Amino acid sequence: MNAPSTEVLIRCRDAARTYGQGENAVVAVHGATCQVRAGDRIAIMGPSGSGKSTLLHLMAGLEQPTSGDIGWPGIGRRATARDVGVVFQSPSLIPALDVAENAALPLVLAGTAEAEARRRALSALEAVGVADLADKLPEELSGGQAQRVAVARVLALGPRVVLADEPTGQLDRATGRQVVDVLLNAASVLGAALVVTTHDPTVGERLAERWPMHEGRLAAPIPSGPDTAPSAHTPARQGEKP
């Protein structure tokens, strides 16, 4: 068996994010130092307002740190959707496009020929168990089905890291568990790292590591994960140099 990869894909060094200025300034993330390596399965845990979604957006390159640094050393350049795929909590499907078109859209925007984009989208929909919904519009889907399509859209791109922001937050417990199953399977199919933000302990326990957050501060990681083998490499703790 090959040894687990230790390649660092995302590195945060004392990364902070503040919104507003002066007396109105709100610090969403205080100097987070951590890293995501190939094969990691990580849950960023915390209540609403703890900063976990902001940290995920920093990792994805969707927001810039106010101070500190975010890098993607294993990717070798600034992160794009082809490298770091994001599954959002809120509805992200385009209402006017059917399921297959939604799953193919990022590929088309990235310059992939439409026929190839559709082929890859249908393959991804099959992988997450919703190929039979390819011709449906988003309004015809349940919440769980819509999240599966969102995962398929990321899967079709083939990123090296999958970041999922509260993917079960608006779902019932049974449907949420199914979506986590889909995410874990998709990450395994891709050979990608998986990072999930959640406030639900039952979700966190299914990933190999948990990173608690409270009031914008990232605490030391906690081993977990009955569904996946623990990672062979622990992210840097607060104050450590990765």
C-beta separation of 231 from 37 below 8 A = yes
Answer whether residue 26 is part of any domain.
no
Whether 187 maps to a domain, the answer reads yes
Is 69 inside any structural domain? no
- State the CATH number of the domain containing residue 50: 3.40.50.300
Range of the domain at 155: 40-61+76-212+219-223
119 located within any domain: yes
What's residue 2's pLDDT?
A: 42
Q: With both helix axes pointing from N to C terminus, report the angle between 173-190 and 143-157 in degrees, rounded to the nearest 10.
A: 10
* pLDDT score at 224: 59
For the whole model, what pTM was predicted?
0.87
For the chain, the distance separating the N- and C-terminal CA atoms, rounded to the nearest angstrom, is 27
Buried b (16+ CB within 10 A) or exposed e, 131-156: bebbebbbeebeebbbbbbbbbbbbb
DSSP label at 215? T
Counting the structural domains of the chain, the total is: 1
pLDDT < 70 positions in the chain: 1-5, 223-242
Q: Is residue 33 part of a domain?
A: no
Residues 56-114 pLDDT 10s: 999 999 999 999 999 999 887 777 878 999 998 877 899 999 999 999 999 999 899 99
The helix or strand, by DSSP H or E, that contains position 154, with its residue range, turns out to be helix 143-157
Residue pair 87/147 in contact by the 8 Å Cβ criterion = yes
- State the number of CA atoms in the 13 A half-sphere of 228 facing the CB: 27
Closest by CA position to 124, among listed 103, 139, 144, 143: 103
Beta bridge partners of 149: none
